[in-house]
Amino acid sequence: MRAVTLRAPGRIEVDENWPEPLLRPSEVLVDVRGVGLCGSDASVVAGHRAVPELPWVLGHEAYGVISRVGSAVADRHEGQTVVIEPNYPCFACDACSAGATSGCPNRRIVGISEPGMLAERVAVPAGFAWPVPSGWAAEDIVCVEPLSVAFNAVGLAGIRPGGRCLVLGAGSQGQFVCLAARQAGADVHVIDPHPGRLALALDLGARPDDGGDHPVIIETSGAVSAFEQAVDRASHGGIIVVVGQSRTPATVSTFRIVQRRLTIRGCLIYDHPQGFARTIAAMTGSGLRPGRVLRARYGLEDASRAFAESAGNPGKTWISLEEKPA
């Protein structure tokens, strides 16, 4: 089968003869239909995030159709359209026992510690292949994973209807945070230096920065200066939720944090199973249509170009394994 593999940092190839996945009894085999590209894939490609071996199959935001069901799986069937939750916790550690699976130290991460999903077929633990309602557009289904991160951020921020909220960064994660915060009823303002990204966020219902303070700030860019700006712009008793990450230390004033009584919370992915369950429920019948964030579609054969161009594309880049409609 075909698979998109990283051969060396920065070098991506479409392998025509990649081995078929092995199907364990507790798994389903999924014919992949579409995969979104995101920042963590880009850091694997750049060689900033180590993977167990090369060549390595890339990608983790996948959806597809179940083509075979493992012998021990009773609650999934062939032909179901599923979106894949690409983080498999151990279910045995303290964090998992407490329901905080995002904190599992043994978590297996698709595309990082487990082979990725940019392949024609993948084997997935059945409980991590989430059936979606029939009739959903491919563009919407492929956004369930990053939108789950956004809903987690909005939940941690304790956003209230009508409340002001500032989103820093309008990369694709910032766009999903804007959507999720709008869905929660917030008055969302957004900052991004890139005019195309800013325009897309405004299209999705956010407003341009008005220079005022905010009780809720969600930092999605990973830029150190943006985190510093968040500490400057949070109002008394405000909460800053940090989604974007950097290893570079930031310079912030503890005087500011104490005097303003700020809360700073890190947001790492989502917990299983409530993260995906909440996103799929929120998308059902709501007109949320997160696929509006997707702006650049490529075929599997153009994967290398898709990765190369993704940073410059406003909105999210994705790879479709289906024929482009005429």
The answer to whether 199 and 314 are in contact (CB under 8 A) is yes
Give least dist CB 146 to Zn ion, A: 5
- Give the residue with the Cβ less far from Zn ion, 142 or 262: 142
Binding piece for Zn ion, criterion CB under 5 A, among 14-22, 63-71, 73-81, 97-105:
97-105
Tallying the residues shown for the chain, one arrives at 326
Of residues 65 and 93, the one with the C-beta less far from Zn ion: 93
Q: Binders of Zn ion: how many residues, by CB under 5 A?
A: 6
- Least separation in angstroms between residue 111's CB and Zn ion is 8
Of 32-40, 163-171, 250-258, 304-312, which segment contacts Zn ion by CB under 5 A? 32-40
**Cβ partners under 8 Å of residue 133, min gap 6:** 280, 284
Residues 67-96 that bind Zn ion (CB under 5 A): 89-90, 93, 96
With CB under 5 A as the contact rule, the residue among 4, 12, 35, 38 that binds Zn ion is 38
Angle (deg, nearest 10), helices 144-157 and 172-183: 60
Question: DSSP of 216-259, one letter per residue?
Answer: EEEE-S--HHHHHHHHHHEEEEEEEEE-S--SSPP---HHHHHH
148 vs 229, beta carbon nearer Zn ion: 148
Which residues, 102 to 131, sit near Zn ion by CB under 5 A? 104
* Residue closer to Zn ion (CB basis): 89 or 314: 89
3-state secondary structure of 314: coil
What does the block give as tokens for 324? 């482009």
Q: How far is the CB of 71 from Zn ion (least distance, A)?
A: 26
- Beta strand extents in 137-213 (DSSP E only): 164-168, 187-191, 207-208
Q: How far is CA 28 from CA 31, 71, 76, 213, 275, in A?
A: 10, 9, 8, 49, 21
* Choices 19-27, 30-38, 262-270, 295-303 (CB under 5 A): range interacting with Zn ion: 30-38
Residues of this chain that interact with Zn ion (CB under 5 A) are 38, 89-90, 93, 96, 104
